[in-house]
Structure 1
Amino acid sequence: MYLTIKTKMMILIGSLVAVVLLLQGIYLNLNKAELISDQIGLRALNLAKAVAVIPELIDAFDLEDPAIVIQPLAESLRQATGAEYVVVGNRDEIRYSHPIPERLGQRMVGGDNYAALVEGESYVSRATGTLGEAMRGKVPIVDANGDIIGVVSVGFMLDKVASDVDRMLYLGWLFIALSLLVGFAGAVWIANHVKKLILGLEPHEIARLVHEKEAILQSIHEGVVAINREGRITVLNQSAKRTLGVEGEQPCQGMPVEELVPNSRLLDVLVSGERQFDRELWIGDVPVVVNRVPILNPAGEVDGAVSTFRSQKELLDVYRALKEASADVDQLREQAHEFSNKLYTISGLLQLNRPEEALALIHQESLVTQNQVAFLVRHLSDPVISAMLLGKMMRARHMGIQFEIEESSSISMNLSFEGQDILLKIISNLLDNAFDASTLLPPVLPQVRLFFTDLGAQLLIEVEDNGPGLPADQFELITRRGYSTKEGRHRGIGLALVRRLAEAKGGNIYLEESELGGACFVVSIDKSLISQKDNNL
């Protein structure tokens, strides 16, 4: 059976109040009952002490029949004080007084007179006499010489004592019952109030919403930063951490937003409550597009602010991908045109009845492609990298660039998916830069050379060209994001990306002078961080 949170709170809070009140009531009432019983016992004892020192009673012990004096005296005291009985006996426990006259002269019952008659003690005892179980006050009777001559026993029946205790505890239990009613009413009010605060949702619904919110925050591509009214961070998703350069599980919740993003301007939104959309902002050296909106409570007051932002680098990546796709389309058009010309040539040779020369032309074209493919198969274990290099060879041929891969090049290791992606980006960017640089000194024949090896602990990649080269003192500058020696927008990304990828995998990028006369870039990467074995661990 499913219980709502309102019902659960009512049951739990009501039960807690009931248990606490009942335990407290039982404890207090038991103490009160014991106190009342003690008071009745003290009352019996004090009355017995008062009886034991009456001179007429003491003198009556010298008479031939003490009961003549003692019985009327004891009965008058019993009726005046409300005691159940006042019994006076001698040292032999023979009664001189009793509420029932027929029992005069008989032995006292209960067996609790020894301490009074022998040791001279005064005390309260519980024992069963001829009238039933009673609480008794026992006091010895001492004559003028100090000798014990008898005992006084004043009793209150226990059933009457219990009745008196119950009557006195009635109000206590009534108060506890009223407190329970108030407690249950308070439980109902608290349950309704909490239900209203959580918008009528159940705990499992709240948990699901929290998980959904967390999943949405972590899955969206935009960075999200939220702050409370004190300007402290309450939400920071993974995209925001990557953009802000927050490492690992570094705690950010509760941190002042100005410490993490000094120029966030979220505090301005807290003050003004103004919404800001599509504003430009630099986070470090990364340009981002920012939206800022206030968080309003039901009263319309600003309780916090949220900022979403996205790196402009992604737009640049899209631009570059489109540009490369456009270049590939142009190359395909050129290849189709060149292939069409060769087909016309072969057709003409066949029409001229020159089949031998047509076959020689066909074999010549296929031999070049087969040799390139065979070389990549022998020297590269990864087909994805081989396919990329084959495409670069075709592009170089159509650009009129002499592109060669050194015969000693070899990569035999199995790359992880991440390793494939990293090598594709590094080699592709380096070759594109080399192709562009080698065409800057016409009419010199453009030349580009590639070397790679995975011997040792590091994987090395070396790309050189015969372009104008680069001064060594500009190395830090040219590997910085946004700087480029080329004209136009969206430049200065390739070498910065190569350097970042290499450093992230335990390597680096170096600039050397090329044997071809231009620039030579050498990249090192820790093999263990891009191997298939590492990926499966």
Structure 2
Amino acid sequence: MTKTAPGSRRASVRRIGFRTQMILFVGTLVVLMLAIQGAYLNQRYAQVIEHQIGQRALAVAKTVAEIPELVAAFDIAEPATVIQPIAEAVRVQTGATFVVVGNRESIRYSHPLPDRLGQRMVGEDNEPALERGEAYVSRATGSLGPSIRGKVPVFDGEGGIVGVVSVGFLADEIEQRVAEALVPNRVLMVLVALLGLGGAVWIASRFKRVILGLEPHEIARRLEEKDAILESIHEGIVAVNAEGDITLLNHAARRFLPDDALALDPVGRPVRDVLPKSRLTEVLENGEAQFDSETWIGDQLVVVNRVPINVDGQIEGAVATFRSRMEILELSRSLIEVRRFADELRAQAHEFSNKLHTIAGLLQLDRPREALELIGQETQVQQRQIAVLKARVADPVLCGMLAGKIIRAGARGIDVDVERDSSMKVRLSGQGREAMLTIVGNLIENACEAQRADGVAPRVRVFFTDMGDDLVFEIDDNGQGVPESLAEAAFESGVSTKGPYRGIGLALVRELCQRHGGEVALEQSELGGACFIAIVGKRHVCAEERHD
């Protein structure tokens, strides 16, 4: 036997549209429920009709058994001559199939067929009436066929049982009456079923519009794609409903939350309990978006955008996206560095092209000694400074960064001098190394880019020490310094004397110094320009010492 693979079954189901599937499912359910309910109600209705006919037969039998002429006829020689006309008259008036009167031996005194008078009554169901005087309804098969009968005893003047009256309706006639009575019910059931199918079509069409005409497998795929996108982006995302309860929190957002906020699942909890400083509730109240707002999440400063979710003019929730301010500043600084580096490479390419042409000319003039001296001049000063750094800076990464800055500054014609008294014998931790590279690198770059008067040779002086509980860096330059009007705002983001799209490095330096137990200050340099002093706590950036 060939088995159908699950995938092919799913594919065949997908080929049937969701609207068609919903119509089939809902319509089948409605028809099935109506069929079950209709069958039950029809059966109950038939039982009620049969019961009513039985009670009707019983009432007619009681009426016949109390007719005085009929009771008196039992004492005459030929009871049938009196009882037969009375019974037939009652049968015609009531519409019963038969009205049979018999004596205690069940001998008939009346019958619809006269030739059966004097014969014994058929059915063997007279005993309760003749023996115990009971009036009841029975179902039995008589000489005319299966029927429902009302049996009542006939009492004489002294209360003795002298006979029995049996009034009946044939079962075939009853079934026909039931069938005729159920015709409106069946018509109503068909109409209701058609109405249910129409309702199924309307519901399916409306639901299809609500889900934007998508199929279930398409909705499932889009939901999976949405989850994958939310978890893959670097920005934190928090969504709340109209009541201010969190409905969505991606992985990036969880990285910003402190451990106590993650002790319980944040989804489903009020946003105020998870993020006390969140302003999403304000967005829910006034419906106004908030862009590029700064707030603290734990110990991290983030830049947040908040927008309401409007559905048909009603605010159904709000979404906040945020990212670390330091990451944004670092990204901006990196972009500026790349642009600056590209400009410098173009300048250096032109300068080295001239030097290469000079060296080529000396070699063609057969002057190799002068060519070698020219090459040596380019490396002697930088090599001496790198050797000094290797002896005074214990951390290799920080030493490498300083060496790179010196080489790069030299290529730009800037003299970077490291003070002889400088010393940094401590080893940095991974996080501390990253912070120090950013702090020192930005300060040296700012000193190299300081504006100078025409004809002034650019100079930068670097001093560092690890004496005491702090690491201290002093970066001096011989530029024009920072104007007094900008001295207080020099460390704010976007404030710079170097043009637009600048003013990021010093803001990042101050933030990193403060986060690592220190501060950064601006003073007047002995060289005539600015002097930046960066102080960082050792315990925040140094690696733990290990003793074997």
- With the shorter chain as reference, the TM-score category is 0.5 to 0.7
Deviation per CA, 1:116-174: give whole Å up to 9, x if none.
33433322222233333221111121222222322211111212211110111112212
The equivalent residue for 2:437 is 427
Q: Does 1:202 align with 2:215?
A: yes
Alignment of 1:213-252 (within 5 A): none
Q: Does 1:446 align with 2:461?
A: yes
The equivalent residue for 1:464 is 473
Provide closer, same or farther for how the CA distance between residues 82 and 444 of structure 1 changes in structure 2, counting only shifts above 3 A.
closer
* Post-superposition offset of 1:196: 6.0
CA contact (8 A) 2:382 2:406 kept: no
Q: In 1, Cα distance between the equivalents of 2:537 and 2:70?
A: 124
CA contact (8 A) 1:508 1:523 kept: yes
* Post-superposition offset of 1:205: 3.9
The equivalent residue for 2:6 is none
Q: Which letter maps to 1:429?
A: I
The equivalent residue for 1:7 is 20
**1:119 aligned residue (132, 138, 144):** 132
Alignment of 1:411-426 (within 5 A): 411=428, 423-424=433-434, 426=436
Alignment of 1:41-440 (within 5 A): 41-101=54-114, 103-192=116-205, 195=208, 201-206=214-219, 208=221, 257=283, 283-284=293-294, 318-327=335-344, 351=369, 379-380=395-396, 388-395=401-408, 399-402=415-418, 406=423, 408-411=425-428, 423-424=433-434, 426-433=436-443, 436=446
Give secondary structure in 2 for the equivalent of 1:400. strand
Q: In 2, Cα distance between the equivalents of 1:112 and 1:340?
A: 137
CA RMSD of aligned residues (A): 6.3
* Post-superposition offset of 1:10: 2.4
Deviation per CA, 1:400-434: give whole Å up to 9, x if none.
221788463324x7x5xxx6xx8446513333315
Q: In 1, Cα distance between the equivalents of 2:280 and 2:17?
A: 33
Q: In 2, Cα distance between the equivalents of 1:35 and 1:117?
A: 28
- Please, what TM-score do these two structures have when normalized by structure 2? 0.63
Q: In 1, Cα distance between the equivalents of 2:379 and 2:490?
A: 45
CA contact (8 A) 1:115 1:121 kept: yes
CA contact (8 A) 2:136 2:150 kept: yes
Q: In 1, Cα distance between the equivalents of 2:386 and 2:366?
A: 23
Structure 2 residue ranges without an equivalent (≥5): 1-11, 272-277, 296-300
Provide closer, same or farther for how the CA distance between residues 438 and 526 of structure 1 changes in structure 2, counting only shifts above 3 A.
same
Q: Which letter maps to 2:518?
A: Y
**1:511 aligned residue (515, 519, 541):** 519
CA contact (8 A) 2:415 2:460 kept: no
Provide closer, same or farther for how the CA distance between residues 426 and 138 of structure 1 changes in structure 2, counting only shifts above 3 A.
farther
Q: Which letter maps to 1:21?
A: L
Q: Identify the range of structure 1 (114-123 vs 303-312) with the bigger mean alpha-carbon deviation.
A: 303-312
* Post-superposition offset of 1:60: 1.8
- Please, what TM-score do these two structures have when normalized by structure 1? 0.64
Q: Identify the range of structure 1 (313-322 vs 24-33) with the bigger mean alpha-carbon deviation.
A: 313-322
Provide closer, same or farther for how the CA distance between residues 400 and 201 of structure 1 changes in structure 2, counting only shifts above 3 A.
closer
CA contact (8 A) 2:392 2:423 kept: no
Q: In 1, Cα distance between the equivalents of 2:47 and 2:210?
A: 48
Deviation per CA, 1:177-221: give whole Å up to 9, x if none.
233334334444554565567665434445556666787788889
The equivalent residue for 1:275 is none
Provide closer, same or farther for how the CA distance between residues 466 and 8 of structure 1 changes in structure 2, counting only shifts above 3 A.
closer
Alignment of 1:33-44 (within 5 A): 33-44=46-57
The equivalent residue for 1:522 is 536
Q: Which letter maps to 1:34?
A: Q
Q: In 2, Cα distance between the equivalents of 1:200 and 1:444?
A: 69
CA contact (8 A) 1:127 1:135 kept: yes
